[in-house]
Structure 1
């Protein structure tokens, strides 16, 4: 049998479990803030650029589109060479780094725009000054080494990496992390609220009896406390039933 849920029931579940949902949202935001500000190490980024030019043996030779296409195709080769141990081992030795070539390679990203002869070398490190040194040294070592590897001399440094006066960390991004955590916390909280509601098969009202058993409710028998009897009072919901010809009492029991 297919069951449907109305919009009213959805809001009812959210209202009933509202504090649970809020707890998940605030908890997720708090965890994200703690990780972003106190646990995750800030990372700084520095970038250097070089340009690949075609060497001209004859200064009177015209520069054509095929030369540019050749240079662009060579960039992919240059990218792989720059991240190879041949280059990185020399960078490690020159800067006296306590890194392996693999660790240093994970800090370096070499990229270029499509059909562009400009290559960007981006280095990420917790130390902004060291990131700048690695970027510049990597490009310089590559420029000095590439003629021996490929017998070409067409790499020119376009712009060296420079450390800003007040460098800003590129990661983590606390506000973004907290915003994501708020959304995820809300989704988990709402999902858990509906799961708990689905698993809750407690019968509390006459409507629950009719819905679960498919039987009509003939009336309710209520239990009155000693204090109610002593004061001779009746709860409001029972008084309304008496006026409609129903049964009286303080606490309802369904029959």
Structure 2
């Protein structure tokens, strides 16, 4: 199919693709707005720096190795139960853990804790309390070892929450693209269905690859 043919199709039926793109984008935006009011999900993030007392290579490598153990210590039902008890949350440790993600960054010796909750302030409280548990535990462990062998933990900043779901902008763009593609499919289906219909001398020339010498004028009345 030549570019001229594509251009002709888009000129005739491009409005279908644009209309469906606008409708689908508006629908996605409306749905996301409703969900944002009825069932928003906020994510709070807090970062903990793990810092060896000595800066030599051996101590730094030991801290990197221990990071995974620290993550395992934090990501347990025992820690979740302590947070629930301190904040008086109405949920089980398993439910709380399902809303929490804990990961380590070996290159920076940082542990990141993400908490999802329908209430942003509660998400902040959970993240802060969970991080405090780890810092307190490290302080207790450091009391049992020599000062030069200690590995300290510091909270880098206060937790802050952001709206994690629904992602209104992303959903709106995705809805518009989906509507455009659906419209494109409809356009090509219509063109396929009408491919054998001859309406003008130009259609005859296109199908037969022969010039039209004359045409019978339409009758009036």
TM-score, structure 1 length as denominator?
Answer: 0.68
8 Å contact kept, 1:22–1:186: yes
Name 1:244's counterpart in structure 2: none
Cα shift readout 1:148-200 (whole Å, capped 9, x = no counterpart) = 8xx9874523245355xxx7534434234323333333233224312321332
Shift of 1:32: 1.6
8 Å contact kept, 1:53–1:154: yes
- 2:49 is aligned, of 38, 48, 51, to 51
Cα shift readout 1:60-91 (whole Å, capped 9, x = no counterpart) = xx642111111112112222332222221222
RMSD, aligned α-carbons: 3.1
Which residues of structure 1 form unaligned runs of 5+? 57-61, 227-255
Name 2:158's counterpart in structure 1: 161
8 Å contact kept, 2:42–2:119: yes
8 Å contact kept, 1:46–1:122: yes
The structure-2 alpha-carbon separation of the partners of 1:7 and 1:49, relative to structure 1 and needing over 3 Å to count, comes to same
Select the structure of larger CA radius of gyration.
Answer: 1
The structure-2 alpha-carbon separation of the partners of 1:207 and 1:63, relative to structure 1 and needing over 3 Å to count, comes to closer
- SS of the aligned residue for 1:156 comes to strand
C-alpha distance in 1, partners of 2:180/2:106? 40
- SS of the aligned residue for 1:225 comes to coil
Between Structure 1 and Structure 2, the one with more helix by share is 2
Structure with higher RCO (Cα < 8 A, 6+ apart): 2
- SS of the aligned residue for 1:161 comes to coil
The structure-2 alpha-carbon separation of the partners of 1:205 and 1:223, relative to structure 1 and needing over 3 Å to count, comes to closer
The structure-2 alpha-carbon separation of the partners of 1:126 and 1:104, relative to structure 1 and needing over 3 Å to count, comes to same
The structure-2 alpha-carbon separation of the partners of 1:63 and 1:113, relative to structure 1 and needing over 3 Å to count, comes to closer
- SS of the aligned residue for 2:163 comes to coil
Shift of 1:44: 2.6
C-alpha distance in 2, partners of 1:156/1:216? 85
